[in-house]
Amino acid sequence: MLNNIGLPGILLIAIVVLVLFGRGKISGLMGEVGKGITSFKKGINEGTKELEEEAAAEVASDVTPSEEKDKA
């Protein structure tokens, strides 16, 4: 069903949405979407940094020689 929309169909849908909601409402919505994407990327980067710091702390805290680890 959606395979045959094409460019004229997409333009028609865009015009109908613009008429129904108005330019101000759509631009405000797109601004909120942009803020959400930015916030999501920031959260992903912070989570990645946190995981890397935890891995580095785990490696740094384990200073027991391997011979003594085998005895335990």
Model confidence over 4-28: pLDDT tens digits? 788 889 999 989 988 888 888 888 8
Report the pLDDT value the prediction gives residue 5, as an integer from 0 to 100. 80
What does pTM read for this prediction?
Answer: 0.52
Average pLDDT over residues 28-57: 90
Q: What is the DSSP string of the chain?
A: -GGG-HHHHHHHHHHHHHHHH-HHHHHHHHHHHHHHHHHHHHHHHHHHHHHHHHHHHHHHH----HHHHHH-
Every domain of the chain and the residues it spans: 23-55
71 has a pLDDT exceeding 80 = no
Question: What is the predicted pLDDT for the residue at 34?
Answer: 93
Higher pLDDT, 43 or 70: 43
